Amino acid sequence: MEKNTPFLAKASSITTDLFIVGGGMAAAHLIRRLAHHGFQGSVLLVGEESVAGYNRVLLPHYLSNQVSESDLSNTALHEPLDLAISYRLGVSVESLDTGMQRARLSDGASVRFTQVVLAMGSAVAKPPAAERPTPGVMSLRTWADADALERVASRGEPLLFVGGGLLGLEAADAVLSTGCPVTLIQRSSRLMPRQIDTHAGDLLVDRLRAKGIEIVLGEEVETLQANSSGVSVAFRTQTQRKQTFAAVVLATGCVPRTELARAAGIPCERGITVDASMASPLAGVFALGECAEVSGTNYQLVEPIYQQAEVLAKNLCGTSAHIPSVVQGSHLKVEDVPLFFAGVVPPEIDTHDAVIEDSGQRVYRRLCLQDGVLRGAVLYGDTLGARDIQNHINTAISPSQAQSLAFGLKAA
C-alpha cells in the first residue's frame, strides 16, 4: 500500500481556514476542484487511513490483479496544486466543536478552523449476526481491507459473500478470478433488488452461476462463529446447512458515518443534513459524499458525489451553486456481464414500457415509462446508448423516441 507523504502537517496545534474531515474520493475531488476554482485560504485534510484519495471503486479490480497500486492511487493528493494544503493522515477526529471552531485529533493535536467539511464516508451495515466483531468476518471498504481479503483468497479456500448488490457481486467475481471458490447469499429473491428488475435479475443469476459463483437467494446468516478453520456459518432458511468458510465478506449495504456530527450537535437524519449547496443548518459547516444527506437523499455512487464536490468547491470559492437534479446510474463492473441501470426500475414490466429482448443472445433492454416520462432503465447483455438513456431520464419522450433509445439509437 502506497502512502501519501508530501505536505504532512506535524505541528501539535494547527490553524486553518478550511478543515476537511475524511480522506476518501469525495474529499480528493473537492481538493482538485478547490484548486481549479482558486480557493485562497489554507486547507487541512485529516484522514483515518495512512493513504488518502485512492480510487475505492477499483478495489475489486485490485483484488483480481487487473489494476496495480499506482492505478489505485488518486493523483489529486500527489500532484502539485495551486492550493495551500497540508495533510494529517492515520489519525481520527475525536471531538469537534463547531461553535468554538476547534477539533481534537486522536494523536493529541488540536485544530482551529474557520469552516469545516465533513466527508467521512460510510460504514458497512452489519446484519444482526455480525454486530459483534468475529475473526474472519471482513468487509471491503478500504485498501487495507482489500489487502487482507487478498491474503485470505490466496489460500484458495471457500469464501462466503453476504449481499448481492454492486459491491458484493464485483468483489465476489474478483475473488473467483483468483481461483478461490465463492458462495454468495442474498436475503431478497433477486440480486441488486434496488437497481434492476426481476427478469434482469434472473439473467444475472444464470450468468454468474455459469461463471462458477454459487448463489443462494432468499437466505441470511443466522450465526457466525470463528474456529480453527475459519468461520462456521449457520443459515436462517436452510437450517440443516452449516458450513465453514475461510472468511465471510459483508457486502450488506452501508450507513452514513454520522457519529462525529451527532456528537457535535450537527443536524442529522440518516446522513448529515445539508441543502443543495452542501451547507448544513450550522454556519460554516458542510458535508460531502456518502455521509451527507442532500435535501433528503443519500447518494452512494461516484458521479453524484463528484457533482457535490464541484458545487461545494464553487460555494467555498465565493460562487453560488446548487446540486442539479441527479439521476443515479451505473454499470456493473463484472467481466463478461454487461449490465447498466439508471433511475427507478419497478420489479415487473408495465404495458407502457419499451422492451427489447433477444433470448438467443441473452439481451434484455427495458425503458420504464410513466405518463410519457422516462423514469428508469435496465440494460442487460447490450449497454449501447446507456449514457444517452440516462440523460433522458425524468424527461418526457414520445413512443418513437422510447423505441429508438431501446434499440440503442439516438432519440430523434
**What was the pLDDT predicted at 281?**
97
- Within a 13 Å sphere around the CA of 407, how many CA atoms are in the beta-carbon half? 9
Contact by Cβ (8 Å): 201, 213: no
Q: What is the mean pLDDT of residues 4-32?
A: 84
Mean pLDDT of 76-104: 89
- Confidence band of 4 (pLDDT split at 50, 70, 90): very low
Region 183-204: what's the mean pLDDT? Answer: 96
pLDDT at 326 over 90: no
195 has pLDDT over 60: yes
At 93-128, the pLDDT tens digits run 999 999 999 999 999 999 999 999 999 999 999 999
Instruction: Output the nine-digit C-alpha cell for 307.
Output: 457533482
Query: How confident is the model over 250-295, as pLDDT tens digits?
Result: 999 999 999 999 999 999 999 999 999 999 999 999 999 999 999 9
Q: What is the pLDDT of residue 412?
A: 60
Residue 270 grid coordinates: 440518516
pLDDT band for 239, please (50, 70, 90 cuts): confident
C-alpha cell at 96: 469537534
Instruction: List 285's β-bridge partners, or say none.
Output: 116
Residue 142: all three cell numbers together:
478500504
Percentage of the chain beyond pLDDT 90 is: 87
For 255-291, the three-class secondary structure string (H helix, E strand, C coil) is: EECCHHHHHCCCCECCCEEECCCCECCCCCEEECHHH
- Write out the three cell numbers for 262: 451527532
Residue 74 has a pLDDT of 61
Query: What is the pTM (predicted TM-score) of this model?
Result: 0.92
pLDDT band at 5 (very low <50, low <70, confident <90, very high): very low
Facing residues of 226 across strands? 231
List of residues 6+ apart from 246 with CB closer than 8 A: 136, 152, 155, 157, 158, 159, 229, 230, 231
Query: Confidence band (pLDDT; 50, 70, 90) for 75?
Result: low
User: Could you count the other beta carbons within 10 Å of the beta carbon of residue 255?
Assistant: 15
Is 331 a residue whose pLDDT tops 60? yes
Indicate the DSSP class of residue 170.
H
Angle between helices 198-211 and 166-176 (to 10 degrees): 20
Q: What is the pLDDT of residue 347?
A: 95
Computed over every residue of the chain, the mean pLDDT equals 93
Q: What is the pLDDT of residue 215?
A: 97
Which letter does DSSP use for residue 66 in this model?
Answer: S
Tell me the average pLDDT across 320-335: 92
Kind and range of the H or E run holding 401: helix 399-406
**Does 352 score more than 50 pLDDT?**
yes
Query: What value does the mean pLDDT take over residues 312-336?
Result: 94
Query: In angstroms, what CA-CA distances link 126 with 254, 256, 328?
Result: 8, 13, 24
Instruction: Specify the pLDDT at position 82.
Output: 86
Q: What is the mean pLDDT of residues 21-46?
A: 96
